[in-house]
Chain A
Amino acid sequence: MCLFQSVMNYFPEEVLEHVFDFLTSHRDRNAVSLVCKSWYSVERFSREKVFIGNCYAVDPERLIARFPRVRSLTLKGKPHFADFNLVPHDWGGYVYPWIEAMAKNGINLEELRLKRMVVSDESLELLAKSFPNFKSLVLVSCDGFSTDGLAAIASNCRFLRELDLQENEVDDRKGQWLSCFPDTCTSLVSLNFACLKGEASVAALERLVARCRNLRSLRLNHAVPLDTLQKILVQAPQLNDLGTGTFVHDPDSDAYCKLKNAIKKCKSIRSLSGFLDVNTRCLPAVYPICTNLTSLNLSYAPGIYSSELIKLICHCKKLERLWILDTIGDKGLDVVASTCKELQELRVFPSDLYGVGNAAVTEEGLVAVSAGCPKLNSLLYFCQQMTNAALITVAKNCPNFIRFRLCTLDPTIPDAVTNQPLDEGFGAIVQSCKGLKRLSVSGLLTDQVFLYIGMYAEQLEMLSIAFAGDSDKGMLYVLNGCKKLKKLEIRDSPFGNVALLADVGKYETMRSLWMSSCEVTFGACKTLAEKMPRLNVEIINEGEQIEASPDDRHRVEKMYLYRTLVGPRRDAPDFVWTL
């Protein structure tokens, strides 16, 4: 051991750097930097990709000081429950200070990936003008910007390869942002603007596609009609990933016929999505490419009924990833089970969001898929009902789950057959799936399910709990048992101060904890904040009463705490109190 260490120390830094180049995962690089001072130093100067899971855990100055050669930055902002309207709109998560700091310090930024952050048009303009080698912008679930900001990116980023907008709220100013790509821009590899609501200049789009010979991924928005799609496919038969816009036309028309021929020539398409507006009689045009598809996302296509979905899926024998609406029904999932033997990831989203009573999927569909698709390792399943027996069967059939998120449409529904809580079912999942990293539970659940989770879910990193448990014991089982827990988010569950304060040191080993509509009080949150200076304990108070000093016994509506190196954030709005 000693000899090895001293030998390693004689390696010149360039060799170490070269060795570290093979480490792509940020976790590996983080681990390597902890070995000794010289490794820390070599690693930090050679690090090009940095991942920051919580933008308030550090600040831009620290990032730049430690990693001066950073080229690619990933930042995540708002807590996950912000997706479900549980976090007020102006809570925070602004990217501007990061871009400003990197611009001032001459960082050679090439890639920026943001999730749940607020991105203003000024940020985009500053980004576009400050980094001459900027190549890739990926925005997921962000808001705060308009098509003017996109125009700035298009106009100024001469080497842009990737512009990927996923599920963002974008203010569409009906400008001609697509026309802002100069004629000299030929570098685009990936363009996704499916989430934009407005008209796009179809002519500019066609010209752009024609000159970007390396384009591999293209996802269109609602406003791009079928005949434009046809013209684009003729120009870009090399596409790997296609998101159609509107898929509506008269199937007896010339345009549709041309489309069919164009699609046949696209032999490289492996991923298909879109169909935001669809005439199901036009669907057969895509059957020829279904045979080679590995990824299919029809979750934004409520216009495709169950029977049409089934016809389409019958052609998709190589599918590895399927995102679909529950309109597919249990019968449709049977077809998935018998056709898609390579399936690894399945997401079934609800089509009926207001409890009107449309038929959804049940435990039967899930059991069928688990039996037919042995490679299944990632699941998001919104269902009408569930049973323990079904979950136990699924656990036996698929021990390889990494992500298991089950969501019953009625959050506290018991086992549909026995009327018992679903504790045993989820218990079977955690016991069988030894590599489980992410779990969301729902349905009627007692403290027992958390006992199982604490006991068996050794690799669990993220747990989402809603309307579950009976007492503090439930939360304690999880905090004590899950050694690798990074993110815990809880809503509407009877966990309180005893659980919160039992092991305050635990929270420094985690990224964050969210608790809303639980039983924790102001007093307990204050105590926690006092004991743990390296945590930010934020209370979000949207309420009616903005009291100067609330009673310690008062229940806290929303609490979000996270470890941080930089103390309370300075951009918190009035309704967020950092204790």
Chain B
Amino acid sequence: MDRSSGLGLETELRLGLPGGGEVEKNEKKRAFSDISGGEEKAAAAAGAGNNKNQVVGWPPVCAYRRKNSFNGVKMYVKVSMDGAPFLRKIDLSSHKGYSDLLMALEQLFGCFGIAEALEDADKCEYVPIYEDKDTDWMLLGDVPWEMFIESCKRLRIMKRSDAKGAKDLLKALAAKEDYSSLLN
């Protein structure tokens, strides 16, 4: 079973437009083809693990309940920005969606225009990225908001001009080196 292509985990940094609904459809089809009864396939399916929960409409919890499952649970994550001397913390659960979050980041860091990055990454000097639970760095905006806030561990506001140095950045992050040393 070819897992790597099917899982849809994009580890390279993209500056293109967010992908819209495609992610969900592919995962739904993959889950179906995993199933046909029988032990070995069941074991393989179980092995694909967490991704079962990314099938559209599964677990079958009504949309209202999905949207309202986060009240009362605070989700503070660190936010850093290139060139800023210290980090900030922001509560993801207090925002309603990506544009709301990006507005708040603009207020915090003065990185004006970052909200435009959602529409057209080329318009903005800054690129919002986040580290997910698999420790991959992802571009903000691809997955549904609710899925994002569940998986986001920290945020980073990167200067677009530094994307060229992205490979080095990712290597450094993977090695858990101090990010600011790259800029000096």
Q: Which residues of A contact B (CB under 8 A)?
A: 81, 83-86, 141, 167-169, 195, 222, 275-278, 299-303, 349-357, 382, 407, 409-414, 419, 421, 440, 444-446, 464, 466-467, 470, 491-492, 494, 517
Contact = CB atoms under 8 A, between A and B. Distances in A.
A439 to B, nearest CB: 14
A353 B37 contact: no
Nearest to A543: B25
Interface string B24-67: 00001001101111010011011001111111111111111110
B45 to A, nearest CB: 5
A409 B63 contact: no
Given A412-B31, A492-B32, 10 more contacts: A86-B57, A277-B71, A302-B71, A302-B72, A353-B66, A355-B54, A411-B52, A444-B35, A466-B58, A470-B37
A384 B48 CA distance: 15
B35 A492 contact: yes
B151 interface: yes
Interface string B77-91: 000000000000000
Nearest to A407: B59
B177 interface: no
A514 to B, nearest CB: 12
B62 A492 contact: no
A122 to B, nearest CB: 23
Contact of B42 (A84, A141, A301, A412): A412
B65 A349 contact: yes
Given A407-B59, A407-B60, A413-B46, A354 B54 contact: yes
Given A301-B72, A356-B150, A444 B60 contact: no
Contact of A421 (B37, B54, B65): B37
B73 A303 contact: yes
B147 interface: yes
B61 A349 contact: yes
A120 B162 CA distance: 49
Interface in B150-167: 150-151
Given A84-B60, A407-B59, A353 B146 contact: yes
Contacts, number: 133
B133 A85 contact: no
6 contacts: A85-B63, A300-B71, A303-B72, A355-B49, A411-B55, A412-B35
Nearest to B60: A84
B70 interface: yes
Contact of B32 (A350, A351, A467): A467
B184 interface: no
Contacts of B60: 83-84, 407, 440, 464, 466
Contacts of A494: 36
B24 to A, nearest CB: 9
B68 interface: yes
Q: Select the residue from B34, B46, B70 with max chain A CB neighbours within 10 A.
A: B46
* Most-contacted residue by chain B among A141, A302, A351, A445 (CB, 10 A): A302
B59 A409 contact: yes
A421 B38 CA distance: 8
A169 B39 CA distance: 42
Q: Which 3 A-B pairs have the closest CB atoms?
A: A355-B53, A303-B72, A84-B57
B69 interface: yes
Contacts of A86: 56-57
Contacts of B31: 411-412, 467, 492
Contact of B62 (A83, A301, A412, A517): A83
Interface residues of B, number: 41
A412 B34 contact: yes
A28 to B, nearest CB: 31
Given A301-B72, A353-B150, A419 B50 contact: no
A294 B117 CA distance: 51
A419 B57 CA distance: 25
Contact of A382 (B59, B64, B147): B59
Contacts of A299: 65
A83 B63 contact: yes
A444 B150 CA distance: 27
B62 A84 contact: yes
A167 B71 contact: no
A356 B69 CA distance: 14
Contacts of A410: 45-46, 52-53
Nearest to A410: B52
B42 A85 contact: no
B47 to A, nearest CB: 11
- Scoring A278, A350, A351, A354 by chain B CB atoms within 10 A of each residue's CB, the highest score goes to A354
Q: Which of A350, A419, A446 has the most CB of B within 10 A?
A: A350
A167 B65 contact: yes
Nearest to B34: A412
A451 B69 CA distance: 37
B71 A353 contact: no
A513 B133 CA distance: 39
Nearest to A516: B57
B145 to A, nearest CB: 12
Nearest to B32: A492
B51 A419 contact: no
B57 A414 contact: no
A303 to B, nearest CB: 3
Nearest to A383: B59
B68 A300 contact: yes
A300 B37 CA distance: 35
Nearest to A354: B150
A356 B50 contact: yes
Given A412-B45, A467-B31, A470-B37, A355 B51 contact: yes
